[in-house]
Amino acid sequence: MAVSVSNMADTLELYTGDTVTVEHVKPLANGGGRFNVTAEDGRKWQIDVTRDGAVDVVTTWRDGTLADLDVPDWMDDVTGRLSRL
């Protein structure tokens, strides 16, 4: 899986009609990358996407404060797009 190495944030429109901001944080040593995914409502996930497409949640925030957030169904849409970069 190729992953974007740009540190610029991109805005994606999801199948739900919502938009999220995706920012590449850093490449992972074993391939893949770490990304910040921020929803319009103030929720944010830091995820690792491995070379084979597996996703691990590193940490989550709500309005800038650490929070225990569930992964929304639309995250598959985001990670699917990342796997095609």
**What does residue 41 show for φ and ψ, rounded to 5 degrees?**
-85, 10
> Quick one: pLDDT band at residue 15, thresholds 50, 70, 90?
very high
> Quick one: pLDDT band at residue 52, thresholds 50, 70, 90?
confident
Residue 83: is its pLDDT beyond 80? Answer: no
Choose among 35, 78, 33, 36: nearest CA to 51: 33
Which amino acid is present at 75?
Answer: M
Mean pLDDT of the chain: 88
User: Between 49 and 7, whose confidence is greater?
Assistant: 49
Alpha-helical runs (H) found in the chain: 75-83
What predicted TM-score, i.e. pTM, was given to this entire model?
A: 0.86
